Amino acid sequence: MLEFVAHVVFSAFLIAVVGRLVRGVEVEDAFAAVVAAVVLGIANAVVRPLLLVLTFPLTILTLGLFLLVVNALVLWLVSAVVPGFRVRGLGSAFLGALVLSLLNLAIAAVFGV
The secondary structure of 13-40 as a DSSP string is HHHHHHHHHSTTEEE-SHHHHHHHHHHH
Q: What is the pLDDT of residue 112?
A: 77
Q: What is the pLDDT of residue 3?
A: 85
Query: Is residue 65 in a domain?
Result: yes
Query: Is residue 94 in a domain?
Result: yes
Residue 102: pLDDT band (50, 70, 90) is: very high
Q: What is the mean pLDDT of residues 99-113?
A: 89
> Tell me, what amino acid is at 57?
P
Euclidean distance between the first and the last CA atom of the chain, given in angstroms as a whole number: 15
Residue 53: pLDDT band (50, 70, 90) is: very high
pLDDT surpassing 90 at residue 87: yes
The number of domains in the chain is 1
Query: Is residue 99 in a domain?
Result: yes
Q: 4-13 pLDDT, tens per residue?
A: 898 899 999 9
Host domain of residue 103:
22-111
Residues 6+ apart with CB under 8 A from 78: 36, 39, 40, 43, 85, 87
d(CA 60, CA 37): 29
Q: What is the pLDDT of residue 79?
A: 96
